Every structure is written in C-alpha cells, then in structure tokens.
Amino acid sequence: MKRKIGFVYECLLAGLIIFSLSAELPEREDYVLGWFIWGLFAVDYVIRLMLSKNKWGFVKNHPIELLALIPVDQLFRTLRLIRLIRLVRLILVVKRNNSLLDLLIEKYRFDKLFITVIALLFLTAIPMAWIEPSFDSYGDALWWTVVTTTTVGYGDLYPETTVGRLIASVLMFVGIGLIGVVTGTVASLFSNKKTDLPDQLKYVRDK
Amino acid sequence: MKRKIGFVYECLLAGLIIFSLSAELPEREDYVLGWFIWGLFAVDYVIRLMLSKNKWGFVKNHPIELLALIPVDQLFRTLRLIRLIRLVRLILVVKRNNSLLDLLIEKYRFDKLFITVIALLFLTAIPMAWIEPSFDSYGDALWWTVVTTTTVGYGDLYPETTVGRLIASVLMFVGIGLIGVVTGTVASLFSNKKTDLPDQLKYVRDK
Amino acid sequence: MKRKIGFVYECLLAGLIIFSLSAELPEREDYVLGWFIWGLFAVDYVIRLMLSKNKWGFVKNHPIELLALIPVDQLFRTLRLIRLIRLVRLILVVKRNNSLLDLLIEKYRFDKLFITVIALLFLTAIPMAWIEPSFDSYGDALWWTVVTTTTVGYGDLYPETTVGRLIASVLMFVGIGLIGVVTGTVASLFSNKKTDLPDQLKYVRDK
Amino acid sequence: MKRKIGFVYECLLAGLIIFSLSAELPEREDYVLGWFIWGLFAVDYVIRLMLSKNKWGFVKNHPIELLALIPVDQLFRTLRLIRLIRLVRLILVVKRNNSLLDLLIEKYRFDKLFITVIALLFLTAIPMAWIEPSFDSYGDALWWTVVTTTTVGYGDLYPETTVGRLIASVLMFVGIGLIGVVTGTVASLFSNKKTDLPDQLKYVRDK
Ligand SMILES: [K+]
Ligand SMILES: [K+]
C-alpha cells in the first residue's frame, strides 16, 4: 500500500512540475507562489531543526537545504528555469513529511481515506467541468470540488444541472465524513495517553 | 426495524426507476449519469473481488455482474429501455452494501438517524417548494435541503419567508447534529481496538 | 439552575404566544406553520406512545392530547384565536421534552451551553440590526445569527461594517465550539456502554 | 512557551490600543464596540463573582474593577481618550482569562494550535490582499480568512486567481483541522471523569 501512495505522490509531483514550468501566471501570483513554497520549506526546516537534539549537527548534515533557503528565485523571477528550485524545495518538504504521513497511515489507516479524497476531488471535477455551463475550465471545477468538500460553499460556483447536483450531494456527504474522520482521529489522539506523542515525534525526528 | 429500512429502500429504488425512465435529461447529463452509476457498480465489484479470498472463484460465481460491467448503455444511449441496465446495476450495488449498512445499523443504531435524515430532506422540501417564491420546483427545494443540512450553503437558493427561515433553522441544527453523530461514530471506531475492523469486514465479505 | 431554564422557557413561550397572535403572516406561511406545529406534536405523541409499555393505558390517560391531534386549526384557518390551539400543542411538546432536556442538562451540563447559545443568537442580533445597513429588521438579523452560528453562511446577508465583522467573527468561533460540544457529547454517548441508553429513556418514558 | 504566548498577547493588545485610538469608526459602530467591550468585562466580573466563595470579599478586594463597570465611555463618547477605558477593561478581561487559557495550554497543548491559527489568519491575509482584485484592503482579506477558516464562506469575497485559490484550499483544510481539534478536546473533556471539571475551575477561581 505504501508503494501505491508513493506512486500517487510521484504523479502529483510530476503534475506540479509540468504545471509549474508551463503555467503563465501573472507576475504577482508567481511572486506569491514562490514565497509560499519557500515558506513551506523554511517552516519544515525550522521545525526539524527544533526537534533535533544536536542542532549544530543538523545544520552541518543538511548543507543543501541550507543553501536552498536562499530565496534565489525571488531575485530573478523572470527566469522560467528558476521555478525548478521551488519544485526541488516542495519535493524535499513532501518527502520529509512522508515520515509523519507514514505514521498517520500506519496508525490510523489514513491511506485509503487520503487516496479516496484526492481521487474524488480530481475525478469529480472532470464531469462537472463538462456538464455545468457556469464551470468554465477544469481548474474552476477543481476549485469547486475543494470548496464543496470542505463545506465552505462560497456560492461563486454551484451546479445547476440535475446530475451535477446529484454528484454535488455525494461530495457534500463525503465532506461531512471527512470532517468526521479528521475529528475522530484527533479525538482519539487526545483521549490516548499524552506521553505517546513525543515518542511518535521521535519517529519523525530521526529522518 | 430491518424490514422498515428494507421498505424505505424499495420505495427509493422504485422512485429511482420511475424517475430514470421518465426523466428527459439533456444528452450530456444522461451520459455522465450512466458512467456515474457504472462507476459505482465497478467500484463495488472490484472491492468485493479484492476482499474475497478465492478471487477466481468470485469471478466464476458472479457471471451476471461481470456481464453487467460491459458499458452497453454508453454505446446505445438513445434507447430509453437501456436505462434499466443502469438501474439493475444500482440496485445490485445497494443490495450488496446492505450488509455493510446492516452492520452500521446493528452496532451503531444508525437506523433511526438514517430514516430521520432521509425523511427530513424529502419532507421539508415539500412546504419549502410551496411557500418560497425563489424555489421553482420540488427538485430545487430538495437540492436546497441537501445544501443546508450539510451546512455547505451556496446561497444560490435561500428562504425569504418567515416560516421558511424557521424551518431552515431546524434543518441547520439537524445538520450540526448529523455531523456530530457521524463524527461520534468515527471517533468511537478509532478509539476501539483496531483489530475489530477486519472482523467486521468478514461479515461484509461473506455475502 | 433548573428554575432559570424554566424561566427562559416561559419567556420564549410567552414571546411565541404574542408573536403568534399578532403576526400577519401570508396565508400559505400560516398554513405551513400550523401543520409544522401539528407535526411536532404528533411526532411527540407517537414517540411517547411507542415508548410506553401499556399502549392502551397511555391513550386513555392522555385524552386531551388525543383531542388536540385533530387538525382543527387547519379547517378554520381564518380565525385568529384558533392559533392558540397551536400554541397549546407547542407548549405541551416543549413541557414533555423537558424530561429529555433535564437528562441532557444533568448528565452533560448542557444548561449553560443552551442558555449561552440562545442568548447569543438573540442578543447579538440587536446591535447587528442597528449598525448593518443591509439588515432591514431584527428578524433579518436573527436569521443571520442562526445562519452564521451553524456555519451555513448563505451569503444573502453578511456584515459590512468593521464592528459587525468583529461580532460576526466571535459568532463563527462560537459556532465551531457549538459543533465541538454537540459532537463531543455524541462521541461520549457512543463510547459509553450501549445498554445505558434504554435506561436513560426510561427516565423520559415515565413522564 | 508561556512567555511566547504572553508576547503574542502583548503584541495583539498593543495593536488593539493603536487601532482603537487611531480608527475613525462611524458613531454607531463606535457605540456598539464600546458596549461590546463593556459586556465582555461585565460577564467576566459576574462569572468570577459567582465562582468566588466569599462574594462580599470579592467585591471589596476588586474596587477598581467595580469602578470600571460604570459605562462612563458611553456617556461621553465623543472623547477619544475615553476609549482607553475600554482597552483597560479588555486587557483586564484577557489577563484574567489567561488562567483559563493556561489550563487549556498545559493540559491540551493548545499553545501551538492557538499561535498557528492566529498567525495563519493574519499572515495569509497579506498576500491575498495583494493579489486578489476584489479584496480592497487588508481588513477585507482578514475578514475573508476568518470566514474561510471557520468554513462559513458567505461568498461576499472569494479568491479568483489561481494562487489565491491554492492558498484558500490550504486555509479550508486548516479550518477542518481546527474543527477537529476543538471537537476532539471537547470530546476528551466529556469522556473524562466529570468530577475533574470543578477542580479545574478552582484553578481559575483562585486568581
Ligand atoms: K458554509
Ligand atoms: K456558504
């Protein structure tokens, strides 16, 4: 099962690389996206630094990551290839946090939930983009599935066809189920002995 | 109590058959609906195939279901009677998953909740369609009850009359209760011993 | 504390009587409201009938309630005084279910939560109706507080002033807390022994 | 860790003082804000009065707070400096309730969650105000982050750029996680022995 999730990740990351290199984002959005990915990377680096026992050893053992912290892409943001730096960062963050993810998967069987929700978001967007007249693109439909599954429901986009509403209803109840699973997991984390958590973090820390 | 739920199912399925054979859906929606039901059926088939110990035996023992996997209705989609194939599939899926549903009902007393929520969605839609000037049809009102109970609330439809708002308030608190029950069940599943789940799945697998 | 809740109820019921006798509802809404209250009363009667051990004894011991089941107000709905019948029914339902409510209050300390949420809904509506230009009446503001606290958020009404948004933010986090308390209570109900529930229902049944 | 939270508080309070003295609120909003802060203070005072064993002693030992209960700022509301009274009240409320907050932090590790959510609300508002054409000010963006994280989603403001939608998606899943943590904490409070709560309140009462 771990391999399958690994595969899903590879696909998502490959998709991100293609999207990142081909997308024609407006300058401001591109700039924000760059800092956003840099922020994710920096937070990941700082958290791992704080969790490690030998802080100086951690800095010495991860020289490339320290280098990657320099926001070089913000300086030359017209260069398209510079975007690859962002992706390398993003991949590093995701790879690192796999250890936390593996923990969630092993202990709480999040694997099927995770794949199901991701798949539902991306798959249901396909027919919705096709049958709904107000959904102009696949990106629109994907945005709508996220807004619906999280039960936020801005109302900027909503289905108007009968079949679209049927699919939307399924997504909404999936959303309630999602909240239930997240809440249930957190609740069982809280009700368990508190001393377990640091032990579990050790597992993350060692990587 | 089981018989009553069985009866509710029969009614829902009968309603679906009548709706499916009489509805004049636009071509695209009809096409998506066909693949949607086929997808439900295929997922159901694959899950049961994976849960069964003797995979080849499973395929041999369910020849009609294998036949029903051929997306024949997508090929001749102008024929109205071909829609019956979809319904046979849908009924098979629902009947099979009754075993999972029975489990939920027996262990977690979901029966009353299930009937109550379904009844509330369909019943409250009746007066709303009648008194709300912006709710054009019963379908509109039913869509609104789903959007409200799941607390998504797009805002494409909302009550404007005093009594409509009163009924809506009741539905919203039912929605919060629904989230609570789903979450509570999931939380108790997580806090119970993990080894129980496969045992419970055996119950589903045997059917 | 029980007395205080009793007092809150008396006030709410008195408010309902005054509202019911003075409100000039359109005919359709009035009609739906009549059936809505009748439905609440009928559901309450049937549930108690089913919970009682001696069914025939229950029917004989509650002759007035059986009489009140006749939908007399639906037949002569132009008469204003006939609305009092609805109120008598509503009061009977609320009084009966006090026994269930007392259970919730004693076991789960819902009393403070209950009063707090009711008070917040009614009190925050006052300044909102006053400072928000798009909130035309107190009824509008009250509708908005319900829509916000349940996190539905249709978007038909939303605050535009700075202070209004500040108050709204408080209400939203109260809403999340409300979901948390409802969910937490249900979760603890599920995680406790299942055999307790019928015992608790006995308490309700005896009344 | 406590010191850091203390520091976050000092910053928030300093920001409030500056905002309160510089903001040019319309008269009505200013009036409502005054009563809102007074209400918080009064509720805080009454709760602590009711929790204290020696009520008369409590009144005598807190003479300044009794003085601050006089709604002097509502009488002379044109004076700008009178707003400082509101702030002194607000600070007193926050300082007092720190004891309750410390309890939450010590027992349930709310510290990181608390700082993370506050930081996310304020930080994500910065790029959103910059890249989203419909977000006119930082205040607008901050209002949008609150509406999104609580999953209310009025739809008065919603992101239209690709990167804005990406950031919004992250916020929504944070919102679901927030609901999960609040619910999980409440659920563990309910599932623990009920007798603990008064003991915990003693801790608050002594201050
Ligand atoms: K919503
Ligand atoms: K909404």
> If we measure between CA atoms, which residue out of A199, A55, A50 comes closest to residue D4?
A50
The encoded tokens of residue D77 equal 């509301």
A23 touches chain D (CB under 8 A): yes
Q: Which of A89, A48, A40, A34 is nearest to A67 (CA)?
A: A89
Residue C92 near residue C41, CB atoms below 8 Å: yes
| Nearest ligand to residue D151 Cα | 1
| Dihedral over alpha carbons D5, D7, D9, D13 (to 10 degrees) | 180
CA angle B74, B75, B76 (to 5 degrees): 100
**For D100-142, how does the pLDDT look when each residue is reduced to its tens digit (9 = 90+)?**
556 555 555 555 666 778 888 888 899 999 899 999 999 899 9
Q: Which of A36, A186, A196, A200 to mutate to test the interface with D (most CBs of D within 10 A)?
A: A186
B152: nearest CB among A172, A180, A183: A172
d(CA B181, CA C182): 9
Tokens of residue D81, six digits: 């400096």
d(CA D151, CA C183): 17
> Which residue type occupies C131?
I
Residue C151 in contact with partner chain B when CB distance is under 8 A: yes
pLDDT at B163: 86
Ligand nearest to the CA of A149: 1
pLDDT at C77: 52
Q: Nearest chain C residue to D139 by CA: give it.
A: C162
Q: What is the pLDDT of residue A207?
A: 45
Q: In this structure, are residues C143 and B167 in contact, taking their beta carbons and an 8 Å threshold?
A: no
Distance D82 CA to ligand 1 centre (A): 39
Partner-chain contact D151 B153, CB within 8 Å: no
C127-136, D10-19, D49-58: least confident range: D10-19
Report yes or no: B34 and A168 within 8 Å, Cβ to Cβ. no
Cα separation, A169 vs A191, whole angstroms: 33
Residue B66 in this model has a pLDDT that exceeds 70: yes
* Segment C38-67, tens digit of pLDDT: 777 777 778 778 777 888 888 887 777 777
Q: Which two tokens stand for residue B20?
A: 């499916």
A19 near D CB under 8 A: no
Separation in Å, CA A125 to CA A18, A122, A144, A149, C12: 19, 5, 8, 12, 47
Contact yes or no for D31/D77 (Cβ under 8 A) = yes
**Confidence bin at A20 (pLDDT 50/70/90):** low
In this complex, do C33 and B153 lie within 8 Å of one another by their Cβ atoms? no
pLDDT given for residue B142 in this prediction: 92
Contacts of B131 in chain C (CB under 8 A): 26, 28-29, 32
Residue from C126, C165, C170 nearest C149 by CA: C170
Q: Which residues contact A141 (CB under 8 A, 6 or more apart)?
A: A125, A126, A128, A129, A132, A135
Cβ of A190 and D184 within 8 Å?
yes
Confirm if A103 and A200 have CB atoms less than 8 A apart.
yes
Residue of A nearest to D164 (CA): A29
Residues whose CB falls within 8 Å of the CB of residue C44, separated by 6 or more in sequence, listed in order: C92, C93, C96, C97
Residues in chain C closer than 8 A to D186 (CB atoms): 177, 180-181, 183-184
First vs last C-alpha separation in chain A: 21
Cα-to-centroid distance, C3 and ligand 1 (Å):
36
Q: Which of D91, D199, D147 is nearest to C166 (CA)?
A: D147
User: Is the pTM value of this prediction over 0.80?
Assistant: no
Number of other residues whose CB lies within 10 A of the CB of residue D49:
13
Identify the band that residue A141 occupies on the pLDDT scale cut at 50, 70 and 90: very high
Rounded CA-CA distance B121/B144 in Å is 9
At residue D144, does pLDDT exceed 90?
yes
Identity at C190, one-letter amino acid code: F
A29 and D169 within 8 Å at the Cβ level: the answer is no
Residue C144 alpha carbon to ligand 2 centre in Å? 12
| pLDDT given for residue A143 in this prediction | 93
pLDDT higher than 50, residue C207: no
pLDDT of residue A103: 57
Q: Please indicate whether, in this complex, the C-beta atoms of B154 and D155 are within 8 angstroms of each other.
A: yes
Percent of chain B with pLDDT over 90: 13
Nearest by CB to residue B154, choosing from A131, A158, A176, is A158
Question: In chain B, which residues have their Cβ closer than 8 Å to the Cβ of D153?
Answer: 153
Residues 6+ apart with CB under 8 A from A165: A159, B139, B143, B146
Per the CB < 8 Å rule, is D153 touching A147? Answer: yes
pLDDT, averaged across chain C: 73
Segment A12-20 long-range contacts (CB within 8 Å, at least 24 positions apart): A12/A118, A13/A87, A13/A90, A13/A91, A13/A94, A16/A87, A16/A90, A17/A84, A17/A87, A20/A83, A20/A84, A20/A86, A20/A87
Within an 8 Å CB–CB cutoff, is residue B158 touching chain C? yes
- B38: number of CA atoms within 13 Å, CB side? 19
Two structure tokens written together for B99: 């075993």
Counting other chains too, the contacts that B19-24 makes at CB distance below 8 Å and 24 or more residues apart are: B20/B83, B20/B84, B20/B86, B20/B87, B21/B80, B21/B83, B21/B84, B23/A162
Quickly count: other Cβ atoms within 10 Å of residue B125's Cβ.
21
Place of tokens 């009928």: C42
Q: Which chains touch C (3 or more CB pairs under 8 A)?
A: A, B, D
Ligand 1 mean position, distance from CA A50 (Å): 37
Residue C71 CB contacts under 8 Å (≥ 6 apart), including other chains: C34, C35, C38
**B69 alpha carbon – ligand 1 mean position (Å):** 38
Could you tell me if B159 and B147 are in contact, meaning their C-beta atoms sit under 8 angstroms apart? no
**Cβ distance B163 to C36 under 8 Å?**
yes
D124 contact A CB<8A: no
D155: nearest CB among A29, A146, A155:
A155
Q: How does pLDDT run across D174-207, given as a tens digit for each residue?
A: 888 888 887 777 777 666 544 444 455 554 444 4
Mean pLDDT of all residues in C156-171:
89
For residue B182, which of A181, A64, C97, A114 has the smallest C-alpha distance?
A: A181
Gyration radius of chain B's alpha carbons? 20
Q: Find, among C8, C41, C171, C186, the residue nearest to B176 by Cα.
A: C186
CA-CA distance, D52 to D50, in Å (whole number)? 6
User: Predicted confidence band at D21 (pLDDT cuts at 50, 70, 90)?
Assistant: low
Report which of residues C24 and D80 the model is more confident about.
C24
Higher pLDDT, C137 or B107: C137
Of the listed ligands, the closest to the CA of B179 is: 1
Q: Provide, rounded to the nearest whole percent, the portion of chain C with pLDDT above 90.
A: 13
Is the pLDDT at C186 greater than 50? The verdict is: yes
Average pLDDT, chain D: 73
Q: Please give the Cα distance from C121 to C133 (Å, whole number).
A: 19
- Which residues have a Cβ under 8 Å from the Cβ of B185 and sit 6 or more positions away? A180, B104, B108, B110, C190
Q: What is the DSSP letter of D195?
A: T
Touching D (3+ Cβ pairs <8 A), the chains are: A, B, C
With a CB-CB cutoff of 8 Å, which residues 83-112 of chain B face chain A?
none
Tell me what ipTM this predicted complex has. 0.76
Q: What is the mean pLDDT of residues D34-63?
A: 78
CA-closest candidate to residue A35, choices D130, B87, D137: D130
Q: Which amino acid is at A16?
A: L
* Residue of higher predicted confidence among C178 and B124: B124
Pick the most confident of A25-34, A131-140, D65-74.
Answer: A131-140
Number of DSSP helices (H) and strands (E) in chain A, helices first: 10, 0
Task: Give the chain C residue nearest B106 (alpha carbons).
Answer: C194
Q: How far apart are CA C91 and CA C89, in angstroms?
A: 5
From the candidates B183, B190, B192, which should be mutated to test the interface with D, based on the most D CB atoms within 10 A? B183
Contacts of B187 in chain C (CB under 8 A): 183, 187, 190-191
Sign of the alpha-carbon dihedral angle for D172, D178, D184, D189: negative
**C151 in contact with A at a CB cutoff of 8 Å?**
yes
What average pLDDT does chain B have?
73
**Do residues C37 and C86 lie in contact, with contact meaning Cβ atoms separated by under 8 Å?**
yes
